[in-house]
């Protein structure tokens, strides 16, 4: 199930993550990365943090994707040689809420729906081109439901948030 897309202003959202490059489909690579970031947060004494995220830096499905896999945090942190600390930039975002399993193609279809809605409404993404590759200013999937707490996969919620160009 998909919500209607909306446009909203958001403040910067700090997060910590591991940056990696992956081929699509890449779902099998995500859990170990979230486990490593979770362990790093515990080592830092951080026990209260936000939902899991994937920040997409590049999205060309015919090549390796550059992504960051981690968690939103309540305050900026300092990373290390493996963990990056960054923030989704403040700005206007197109958002959409997908309710359903994380596995399968539901989240992918939600991405397609948000991109299609933006095209229909003449919304331009915050993207720059470097060496012929599109780099997103801010594009994230935010996994609002913790599978350890909710067993019914049909109740899982994923928020898509794509930064809109000024």
Q: Which CATH number do you get for residue 86?
A: 3.20.80.10
What is the per-residue pLDDT for 21?
92
Residue 23 has a pLDDT of 86
Does residue 150 sit within a domain? Answer: yes
Would you give per-residue pLDDT tens digits along the chain (166 residues)? 999 999 999 999 999 999 999 987 788 889 999 999 999 999 999 999 999 999 999 988 778 899 999 999 999 999 999 999 999 999 999 999 999 998 878 899 999 999 999 999 999 999 999 888 899 999 999 999 998 899 999 999 999 999 999 8
Q: Give a yes or no: residue 11 inside a domain.
A: yes
In this prediction, residue 27 carries a pLDDT of 84
Residue 142: inside a domain, yes or no? yes
Cross-strand bridge partners of residue 55: 68, 140
Cβ 87 vs Cβ 93: under 8 Å? no
- Assess if residue 49 is contained within a domain: yes
- Give the Cβ contact number of residue 59 at 10 Å: 19
pLDDT at 25: 77
Q: Which domain holds residue 72?
A: 6-163
Residue 1 within any structural domain of the chain? no
Predicted pLDDT of residue 79: 96
In a domain, residue 133? The reply is yes
- Number of folded domains that form the chain: 1
Q: Is residue 40 part of a domain?
A: yes
Distance (Å, rounded) from C-alpha 66 to C-alpha 157? 23
Report pLDDT for 72: 98
How close are the terminal C-alpha atoms of the chain, in Å? 30
Nearest to 68 by CA among 49, 85, 93: 85
């Amino acid at each position: 199930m998909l919500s209607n897309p909306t446009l909203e202003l958001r403040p910067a959202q700090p997060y910590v993550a591991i940056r990696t490059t992956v081929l699509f489909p890449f779902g099998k690579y995500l859990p170990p990365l979230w486990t490593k970031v979770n362990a790093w947060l515990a080592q830092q004494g951080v026990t209260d943090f936000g939902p899991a995220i994937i920040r997409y830096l590049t999205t060309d499905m015919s090549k390796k994707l550059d992504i960051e896999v981690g968690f939103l945090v309540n305050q900026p942190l300092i990373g290390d040689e493996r963990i990056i600390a960054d923030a989704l930039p403040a700005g206007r975002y197109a958002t959409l809420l997908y309710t359903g399993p994380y596995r399968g193609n539901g989240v992918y279809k939600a991405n397609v729906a948000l991109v299609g809605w933006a095209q229909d409404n003449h919304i331009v993404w915050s993207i720059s081109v470097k060496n012929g590759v599109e780099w997103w200013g801010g594009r994230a999937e935010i996994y609002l439901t913790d599978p350890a707490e909710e067993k019914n996969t049909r109740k899982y919620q994923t928020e898509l948030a794509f930064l809109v160009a000024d």
